[in-house]
Amino acid sequence: MTSPRPVALLDLDGTLMDSASGIVASVRAAYERVGLPVPSEAVMRSFAGPPLGWSLTTHGVPADLLDDAAAAYADHFGRVGVWDTRVFDGIPQALTALREAGALLVVATAKPERWAAPICDETGLTPLLDHLVGAPDDESESKGQIIGRALTWVREATGDAGFRAVMLGDREHDVHGAAEHGLPCLGAGWGYADGDELRDAGAVEVLTSTSQVPAAVLARVTDGAA
């Protein structure tokens, strides 16, 4: 009997691409627009990955200013910040190796799909991926819900409910979102996690280099994986 096709779910910001510069500039614009003190550089970098509403609320934006701050961020990011990004060194090679090994590669990102898809096109990632699932425009979904939609796509695309999957992400939201579906999560240690964030959240392993991705992913999704 043919073994199920291995599946890798991939976070985008901080995992496949370094988008911190554009995100930081857009966060700064949002706080300035609503008249709040601009957070530190480290705090603004932490906006990469989690849903925007969660980050704004966590870092001092009151409920009555939340919509205005989110709109200001979206305006700046959509015009400028979205293009201020680059693919991490070694990621194209890692994705190519996984594709050659037969893995299905699906991005599951909290970045709205209206931004995630064109930036993957622009940076050359799209031909290396099988599908992309991003947040809705209002960013109303948790990472767990986004991962759930990605898994639904895999089941429908493959006609197989018995596939093995692993998540690769750089923030605790990736780990927790994967756990909601019983999936292990590999930590992207080159991303934007703070200290032991990934280990504390329950990542099964924290990788230190993009070159480790193919072996680590395949070890979790092929027969005999722990």
Q: What is the pLDDT of residues 130-156, one digit of tens each?
A: 999 999 987 779 999 999 999 999 999
Residue 1 in any domain: the answer is no
Q: What domain range is 37 assigned to?
A: 20-83
**Percent of the chain surpassing pLDDT 90:** 76
User: What one-character DSSP code corresponds to residue 114?
Assistant: H
97 and 29 within one domain: no
Q: Tell me what the mean pLDDT of segment 1-18 comes to.
A: 88
Residue 154 in any domain: the answer is yes
143 and 36 within one domain: no
110 and 210 within one domain: yes
Q: What is the pLDDT of residues 44-81, one digit of tens each?
A: 988 887 788 889 999 999 999 999 999 999 899 888 88
d(CA 219, CA 132): 23
151 and 56 within one domain: no
Domain tally, the chain: 2
Q: Tell me what the mean pLDDT of segment 99-103 comes to.
A: 95
30 and 74 within one domain: yes
- Which residue did the predictor score with more confidence, 94 or 82? 94
CATH number at residue 65: 1.10.150.240
Confidence at residue 190, expressed as pLDDT on a 0 to 100 scale: 95
| CA geometry: angle 24, 129, 212, nearest 5 deg | 75
Residue 226 in any domain: the answer is no
Select from 43, 67, 83 the last residue of a domain: 83
d(CA 226, CA 64): 47
Residues known to be catalytic? 11
146 and 196 within one domain: yes
Residue 139 in any domain: the answer is yes
Max distance between CA atoms of the chain, in angstroms, equals 62
Confidence at residue 162, expressed as pLDDT on a 0 to 100 scale: 84
Q: Tell me what the mean pLDDT of segment 172-184 comes to.
A: 97
67 and 151 within one domain: no
Average pLDDT over all residues of the chain: 92
In the structure, what pLDDT confidence band is assigned to residue 226 with cuts at 50, 70 and 90? Answer: very low
| Contact call for residues 114 and 137 (beta carbons, < 8 A) | yes
Confidence at residue 223, expressed as pLDDT on a 0 to 100 scale: 62
3 state SS for 141-161: CCHHHHHHHHHHHHHHHHCCC
